């Protein structure tokens, strides 16, 4: 094929590439579905019954992470019964609508630097993905800064013991002691970041 004969194909491909991305999800529809989320995630300090931990803060969390989490609950690779029940009936479109609504919150950032964790050996590897150095990591890891300490401890322990599966976190968390988990959870909970949904 010479350049001339391939020109129409190249023009079509270029036009498709330059076309704006289609909007993902409808925030108004997501807002209606979000009322269910607010029942737990919209109450500051709300506790999960068993095991007992503070329900995670979602305002400002990365959309890609929430989408991945909902898909994991739906697939059963995250075992939380309430979240599995919620996600099991959700279609991909439902999830996209919910994500579009959640994206209206101002994004929170993990701005933690290697210098800030220099004296905290257990947290030094975390900043590679969950700190300023991990801003371009794909798929986007969750924002940890500002999350409830109890939830972070629960999540890390779940990865450590294999209750949550299918991510790089399983290998990382397997190396952590209980003291390491407590230190990491305390450190990230003390940072500015995530908020309770409103």
Residue 14 confidence class, pLDDT cut points 50, 70, 90: very low
Q: Is residue 18 part of a domain?
A: no
Give the separation between CA 198 and CA 60, rounded to whole angstroms.
11
Element (H, E) at 53: strand 53-54
Q: Is residue 21 part of a domain?
A: no
- pLDDT of 12: 39
Write out pLDDT tens, residues 85-114: 999 999 999 999 999 999 999 999 999 999
Give the separation between CA 146 and CA 144, rounded to whole angstroms.
6
Judge whether 110 and 151 are in contact, CB under 8 Å: no
Q: Is residue 59 part of a domain?
A: yes
Q: Give the structural domain span for 72.
A: 27-189
What Å distances lie between residue 22 and 10, 19, 31, 62, 112, CA to CA? 21, 9, 20, 19, 33
Q: Is residue 181 part of a domain?
A: yes
CA torsion angle 92 107 130 152 (round to 10) = -80
Q: Is residue 1 part of a domain?
A: no
Q: Is residue 70 part of a domain?
A: yes
Write out pLDDT tens, residues 125-173: 999 999 998 888 888 899 999 999 999 999 999 999 999 988 899 999 9
Q: Is residue 154 part of a domain?
A: yes
Q: How many Cα atoms occupy the beta-carbon half-sphere of 118 within 13 Å? A: 3
Beta bridge partners, 195, equal 59
- pLDDT of 49: 84
**Domains: count for the chain:** 1
Q: Is residue 194 part of a domain?
A: no
Give the separation between CA 191 and CA 189, rounded to whole angstroms.
6
Tokens, residue 54: 């503070």
32: CATH: 1.10.760.10
């Amino acid at each position: 094929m010479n350049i001339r004969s391939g020109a129409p194909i190249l023009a079509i491909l270029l036009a498709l590439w330059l076309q704006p991305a289609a909007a993902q999800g409808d925030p108004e529809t997501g807002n209606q579905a979000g009322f269910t989320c607010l029942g737990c995630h919209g109450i500051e300090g709300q506790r999960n019954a068993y095991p007992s931990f503070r329900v995670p803060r979602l305002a400002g969390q990365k959309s890609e992470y929430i989408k991945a989490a909902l898909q994991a609950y739906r697939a059963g690779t995250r075992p939380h019964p309430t979240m599995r029940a919620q996600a099991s009936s959700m279609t991909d479109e439902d999830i996209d609508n919910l994500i579009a609504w959640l994206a209206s919150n101002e994004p929170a950032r993990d701005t933690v630097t290697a210098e800030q964790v220099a004296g905290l050996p257990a947290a030094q590897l975390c900043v590679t993905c969950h700190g300023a150095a991990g801003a371009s990591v794909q798929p986007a890891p969750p924002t940890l800064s500002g999350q409830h300490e109890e939830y972070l401890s629960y999540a890390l322990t779940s990865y450590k013991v294999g209750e949550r599966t299918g991510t790089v976190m399983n290998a990382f968390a397997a190396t952590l002691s209980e003291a390491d988990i407590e230190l990491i959870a305390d450190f990230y909970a003390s940072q500015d970041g995530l908020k309770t949904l409103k």
